[in-house]
Amino acid sequence: MDISALKKDALQVWVPFSEDTEVLIQYISREELQKIYTKAKRITYKNHQKAEEFDSVEADKLLGRAAVKDWKGFTMDGQPFPCTPENIDLMMTKWNAFSRFVNEACVDLETLMQQEKEKTAKNSSTTSGQS
């Protein structure tokens, strides 16, 4: 398995979400994932004792904002639904299938590299026949 993509500063790949939607996903390294999880912890004090609580909603928002760079094909009330930080938060917290997709896709280097390879092959085959 070629892992040369790890050398890139930011591996970003368009990944199909459904038949008519795509999401531009950035690979999230283990180190970056740990930072996100750390930011999603809340420190509380109960009976003068420090306790850490993991906020899964905050973790989803942070991961979504780090991993989702753009999307195509999503609409709301018949209008294109733009990829903004607020809309990423909405999709990550209100739509389980989207959140699960992002959580799985952004850490799966092999799948992202395969998607990139397929896109490159598709693009080269469509442009190679042109003069």
Domain segments of the chain as ranges: 9-115
55: helix, strand or coil: coil
Q: What is the pLDDT along the chain (131 residues), one digit of tens a residue?
A: 666 666 666 889 999 999 999 999 999 999 999 999 999 998 888 888 888 899 999 999 999 999 999 999 999 999 999 999 999 999 999 999 999 999 999 998 888 888 888 877 777 766 555 54
Q: Do residues 68 and 83 make contact, with C-beta atoms less than 8 angstroms apart?
A: yes
The torsion defined by the Cα of 58, 59, 62 and 63, in degrees rounded to 10, comes to -150
Which has the closest alpha carbon to 83: 68, 97, 95?
A: 68
Q: What is the pLDDT of residue 128?
A: 52
Q: What is the pLDDT of residue 131?
A: 46
Residue 126: φ, ψ to 5°: -80, -25
Structure tokens at 57: 């909603």
